[in-house]
Amino acid sequence: MAEMGHQQVMFCYDAGVSLRAIIAVHDTTLGPSLGGVRFWPYQSEAEALVDVLRLSRGMTYKAAISGLNLGGGKSVIIGDPLVLKNEALLRRFGQFVESLNGLYITAEDMGVSVKDMTYIRMETRHVTGLPEEMGGSGDPSPVTAYGVYLSMKATWKKLTGTESLQGVRILIQGLGKVGWALAERLYQEGAVLLATDLSAAQLEEAARRYKVQAVAPDEWYKQPVDILAPCARGAVLNESTIPHLQCAAIVGSANNQLADEEADSQRLAERGILYAPDFLINAGGLINVYTELEGYNRQRALARTEYIYQALLDVYQAAEKRGITPHEAAMQLAQERIRAIAGLRVRTFHQPSALSLA
Active site amino acids: 74
Among 282, 291, 305, 325, binds ligand NAD (CB under 6 A): 282
Among the listed residues 7, 56, 141, 241, the single contact to ligand NAD using CB under 6 A: 141
The distance from CA 63 to its chain's CA centroid, rounded to whole angstroms, is: 9
d(C-alpha 129, C-alpha 110), whole Å: 13
Q: Does 258 bind ligand NAD (CB under 6 A)?
A: no
Considering only the stretches 10-18, 149-157, 250-258, 291-299, report the one whose residues sit in contact with ligand NAD under the rule CB under 6 A: 250-258
Q: Does 117 bind ligand NAD (CB under 6 A)?
A: no
Pick between residue 187 and residue 341 the one whose CB is nearest to ligand NAD.
187
**Per-residue DSSP letters for 151-217?**
HHHHHHHHHHS----TT-EEEEE--SHHHHHHHHHHHHHT-EEEEE-S-HHHHHHHHHHH-PEE--T
Q: Which is nearer to ligand NAD, 33 or 257 (CB)?
A: 257
Q: Taking the complex as a whole, how short is the minimal distance between the CB of residue 60 and ligand NAD, in angstroms?
A: 16
Residue 72 binding ligand NAD, by CB under 6 A: no
Strand partners, 313: none
Dihedrals φ, ψ of 201, to 5°? Answer: -65, -40
Bridge partners of 107?
A: 36
Nearer to ligand NAD, 100 or 308 (CB): 308
Closest to 64 measured CA to CA, from 358, 348, 291, 335: 335
Applying CB under 6 A, among 199, 246, 297, 317 the residue interacting with ligand NAD is 199
CB of 228 to ligand NAD, least distance (A): 12
Contact between 177 and ligand NAD per CB under 6 A: yes
Q: How far apart are CA 174 and CA 217, in angstroms?
A: 9
Q: Does 254 bind ligand NAD (CB under 6 A)?
A: yes
272 and 297 Cβ atoms separated by less than 8 Å: no
Name residue 196's amino acid: T
Q: Which residue stretch of 83-91, 122-130, 139-147, 307-315 sits at the interface with ligand NAD (rule: CB under 6 A)?
A: 139-147
State which residue, 240 or 353, has the beta carbon closest to ligand NAD: 240
Question: How are strands ordered across the β-sheet holding 213-214?
Answer: 213-214, 192-196, 169-173, 227-230, 249-250, 274-275
Residue with CB nearest ligand NAD? Answer: 176
Select from 198, 263, 340, 342 the one that contacts ligand NAD (CB under 6 A): 198
Q: How far apart are CA 78 and CA 80, in angstroms?
A: 7
Q: How far is the CB of 19 from ligand NAD (least distance, A)?
A: 25
Residue 197 binds to ligand NAD (criterion: CB under 6 A): yes
Q: How many residues bind ligand NAD (CB under 6 A)?
A: 24
Q: Say whether residue 178 binds ligand NAD (CB under 6 A).
A: yes
Cα pseudo-dihedral 164, 310, 238, 225, rounded to 10: 0
By C-beta, is 123 or 197 nearer to ligand NAD? 197
- Cβ distance 79 to 149 under 8 Å? no
Give the integer Cα–Cα distance in Å for 11 and 4.
18
Which residues within the stretch 339-358 sit at the binding site for ligand NAD (CB under 6 A)?
none
Give me the sign of the Cα torsion angle 210, 215, 216, 222.
Answer: negative
Q: Which stretch binds ligand NAD (CB under 6 A): 42-50, 59-67, 137-145, 298-306?
A: 137-145
* Ramachandran angles phi, psi of 115, nearest 5°: -65, -40
- Smaller CB distance to ligand NAD: residue 156 or 180? 180
Q: Are the CB atoms for 315 and 333 separated by under 8 Å?
A: yes
Options 7, 60, 137, 196; binder of ligand NAD; rule CB under 6 A: 196
* By the rule CB under 6 A, 140 interacts with ligand NAD: yes
Q: Is 234 helix (H, G, I), strand (E, B) or coil?
A: coil
Burial of 304 (0-12, 13-18, 19+ CB in 10 A): buried
Least distance to ligand NAD, CB of residue 236, Å: 8
Q: Which residues bind ligand NAD (CB under 6 A)?
A: 140-141, 144, 173-179, 196-199, 202, 217, 231-233, 253-255, 282, 285
